[in-house]
Amino acid sequence: MTGRVDDSRRRFLQAGAVAGAGMLMAAGCGPANNTAKPGNGAGNQPGNDTANVPENSGPERLDKRGIVVGGGQLPGSQFFVGIVDLDAASPSTRHPQDVGFLGHGFTPRIGKPHIVMITEKHGAGCVEYDLKAGKVLRRVQAGVGREFYGHSAFSPDAKLWYCTEAETEDGSYDGVLAVRDADSLELRDETFNTHGVAPHDCILIDDGDTLVITNGGGPLGNKDELPCVSYVNVKNGEARKVLTFNDPKINAGHIAMSSKGELVCVSAPREGIESDSNDWRGAISFYHPGRDGFVTADDPIREKMTGETLSVAFDEVTRYVGATNPKGDLVTFWDFDTGKLVRSMDQFKSPRGITLTLDGKYYVLTHDVTTMMTLIDAQTLEPQGDPIVAQSFISGSHNFIFNL
C-alpha cells in the first residue's frame, strides 16, 4: 500500500480542499491524476513505494475558486445547506429547504458532484441531496442498532458507498464500516470493523482498496479503546495499519491527506477530561509515510487550543496546514514538514470550517455565530479584508469546495 489518494477522492477533494476533512477530504470533479497500486507489505504493515511517486503528482489547480457548501443552523431556526458561488461577481448564499438535521459530512457522487450524501455526526440523519435543485432526493437509515458518525466515501467505480457508523444500541460504540449499493442505497450483507471505537472521518486511497478511518476512542483511561487511525482493506476488512498517538489525552478527529499519502489528524480532548482542566485542549498531529507513527505538535500555542481542534486543510504547494479551534477562537497554520507553527489568528470568533479554493489561492474560513465567510491568502496567510459573505448559513464543522 502506497498511501496515495485515489482518483475519486482526488475529484472529491479537488485541488487540495482537504478539510477534513475532511479534506484533498474535502472534493470536486476534475481530471484524475494517475495513482499507484498497493504495495506488498508484510502482515499489517503496508508496502511503501512513495519514493516512486512523481514530484509533480500533487493536486491539480483549476482556474476558479469553486462552490462552497456545508451544513448549518441559526439559533432557533431550521437546518440549512448553505451554498455559495465564490466565482460570482457578488457572492451570495442559497440556503434551500430544511433537511431536518445538522449536515456534517458531504460526499459527492462520482461523475455527479451536485448529488451529495449528507450525513449527521452522531445521529440518524442522512439524505441524498441535489445541490443544484436544492432539495432532498432520498433519506437513508443507519443499520439496525447503529447511528451515523459523520463521513463516507464512494468507491472509484461508483458502485459502492462506504459509511462510518457506530453500535449505539448496545452502548459499545464499536466502529462499523457499512457498505451500501451506491444506486439503491441498500445495505449489503458485508460490514467491516473500523478497528476502533467511535469512528468518524474517512478517506479512500490506493485506487479504492483502502479506507483510512479515524476512531475517536473511548474515555480516558480505557486502554482497550485507544484513539487511532486505521487503514482498512475494504475487500476483506483487515487492518493494514493502525496509527496511535503518544499523547493519551487526545482523540482522533478529522484528517487531511496529500496526494502522496502524507496525513494530518486533528484531535479533541479525550472523553472524561473536564472543560475546566488544563488538559481540555485540542491537538494536531502529522504522519509521514515510512516514519514511525504520529508526531503531535508541541508548541506553546496549544495552551490556547481550547477544546476540539475541528477542521483541517492541507495545501500541498506551500506545505501549510490550516486548523480551527472554535472554543479558543483560534486559527493556526503549521508547516507540515517540520510540524512547527507558522502563524496563529485570534480575531475570528468561533472559527469552524476551513478549506482551500479550487485554484489554491485562498483558504475559505467559516466563522462567527452569524456564519461569516472570509478568504485568507494561501501564500501570505493574510485575511482578505471583510468577509466575502456576511451570512453563509454554514455553521457546521466543515465547509466543502465543489466544482459544479
pLDDT in tens, 173-195: 999 999 999 999 999 998 999 99
* One-letter amino acid of 39: G
CA 279 remoteness from chain centre: 24
pLDDT by residue, tens only, the chain of 404 residues:
444 444 433 333 332 333 333 333 333 333 223 233 222 222 222 233 333 344 445 677 899 999 999 999 877 778 999 999 999 999 999 998 789 999 999 999 999 999 999 999 999 999 999 999 999 999 999 999 999 999 999 999 999 999 999 999 999 999 999 999 999 999 999 899 999 999 999 999 999 999 999 999 999 988 889 999 999 999 999 999 999 999 999 999 999 999 999 999 999 999 999 999 999 999 999 999 988 899 999 999 999 999 999 999 999 999 999 999 999 999 999 999 999 999 999 999 999 999 999 999 999 999 999 999 999 999 999 999 999 999 999 999 999 999 99
Three-state secondary-structure class, residue 257: strand
Cell of 1: 500500500
Contact 246, 293 (CB under 8 A): yes
- C-alpha–C-alpha distance, residues 123 and 142, integer Å: 9
At residue 301, what are phi and psi to the nearest 5 degrees?
Answer: -60, -20
At residue 188, what are phi and psi to the nearest 5 degrees?
Answer: -85, 170
Structure pTM? 0.87
Name the helix (H) or strand (E) containing 13.
helix 7-13
Contact 197, 172 (CB under 8 A): yes
Rg (CA), the chain: 19
* Domains of the chain as residue ranges with CATH: 7-402 (2.130.10.10)
- C-alpha–C-alpha distance, residues 374 and 130, integer Å: 25
Q: Which residues contact 321 (CB under 8 A, 6 or more apart)?
A: 256, 264, 284, 286, 312, 313, 314, 315, 333, 334, 335, 336
CB environment 102-120: b (16+ within 10 A), e (fewer): bbbbbbbbbeebbbbbbbb
